Chains A and B, each alone.
Chain A
Amino acid sequence: MKVAVIGAGVMGLTAAHALRVRDPGCEIEIHERSEAIGAAACSRFAGGMLAPWCESESAEPLVTALGQEALEWWPRVLPSTRMLGSLVVAQRRDGTELDRFARRTRTGEAIDATRLAGLEPDLGGRFGRALFFALEGHLDPREALQVLACELERDGATLSLGSDARAGDLDADVVIDCRGLSAADELPDLRGVKGEMLILRAPDVAISRPVRLLHPRFPLYVVPRGEGVYMVGATQIESGERSRISARSMVELLNAAYALNPAFAEAEIMETGCDARPAFPDNLPRIRRRGRVVHVNGLYRHGFLLSPALARMTAGVVFDNQFHPEVMDEDHRQRRTA
Chain B
Amino acid sequence: MNVYGTELNSRLMLGTAQYPSPAIMAEAVKASGCDIVTVSLRRESGAERAGQAFWGIVRELGLKVLPNTAGCHSAKEAITTAEMAREVFGTPWVKLEVIADHDTLQPDVFGLVEAARELVSQGFEVFPYTTEDLGVADRLVDAGCEVLMPWGAPIGSGRGLANVPGLKTLRSRYPELPLVIDAGLGLPSHAAHAMELGYDAVLLNTAVAKAGDPVIMAGAFARAVEAGRAAFLADPIEARDMATPSTPVFGMAFQD
Contact = CB atoms under 8 A, between A and B. Distances in A.
B21 A240 contact: no
A58 B212 CA distance: 9
A189 to B, nearest CB: 9
B21 A282 contact: yes
B47 A244 contact: yes
Contacts of A35: none
Given A239-B46, A240-B52, A282-B21, 8 more contacts: A58-B20, A60-B20, A192-B50, A217-B156, A237-B46, A238-B51, A241-B50, A283-B23
9 contacts: A58-B20, A59-B20, A216-B156, A239-B46, A239-B51, A244-B46, A244-B47, A246-B46, A276-B50
Interface string A224-257: 0000000000000111110010100000000000
Contacts of A194: 46, 50
A103 B210 CA distance: 13
Interface in B20-71: 20-24, 26, 43-48, 50-54, 57
Interface string B200-236: 0000000000001000000000000000000000000
Interface string A175-214: 0000000000000000110100000000000000000000
A104 interface: yes
Contacts of B44: 237-239
A325 interface: no
A260 to B, nearest CB: 19
A281 interface: yes
A240 B20 contact: no
Nearest to B60: A281
A237 B47 contact: no
A237 B71 CA distance: 14
Contacts of A59: 20
Contacts of B22: 191, 238, 281-283
A338 to B, nearest CB: 41
Contacts of A58: 20
Contacts of A244: 46-47
**Most chain-B CB neighbours within 10 Å: which of A103, A239, A281, A283?**
A239
Interface in B170-219: 212
A239 B52 CA distance: 7
Contact of A192 (B21, B24, B43, B53): B53
Q: Please list the 3 inter-chain residue pairs (A to B) with the smallest Cβ-Cβ separation, ordered nearest first.
A: A191-B53, A238-B54, A282-B23
A239 B54 CA distance: 7
Nearest to A246: B46
Contacts of B46: 194, 237, 239, 241, 244, 246
Contacts of B26: 281
A239 B20 contact: no
A240 B45 CA distance: 9
A281 B21 contact: yes
Contact of A239 (B50, B57, B212): B50
B106 to A, nearest CB: 15
A246 B71 CA distance: 14
A56 B230 CA distance: 39
A104 B211 CA distance: 10
**Most chain-B CB neighbours within 10 Å: which of A217, A276, A284?**
A217
A91 to B, nearest CB: 12
Given A191-B54, A216-B156, A281-B57, A241 B48 contact: yes
Contacts of A239: 44-46, 50-51, 54
Interface string B124-160: 0000000000000000000000000000000010000
A85 B212 CA distance: 25
Contacts of A217: 156
Contacts of A237: 43-44, 46, 51
Nearest to A242: B50
A255 to B, nearest CB: 11
Given A281-B21, A281-B57, A282-B24, A241 B47 contact: yes
A239 B23 CA distance: 16
Contact of B53 (A103, A238, A283, A284): A238
Contacts of B43: 237-238
Nearest to B47: A244
B56 to A, nearest CB: 8
A283 B20 CA distance: 8
A283 B54 contact: no
A229 B122 CA distance: 51
Contact of B212 (A104, A192, A216): A104
A190 to B, nearest CB: 8
Interface string A129-159: 0000000000000000000000000000000
A154 to B, nearest CB: 39
A244 B52 CA distance: 17
A237 B51 CA distance: 8
Nearest to B25: A281
B139 to A, nearest CB: 29
Interface string A256-298: 0000000000000000000010010111100000000000000
A241 B47 CA distance: 8
Contacts of B57: 191, 281
Contacts of A238: 22, 43-44, 51, 53-54
Nearest to B57: A281
Nearest to A279: B21
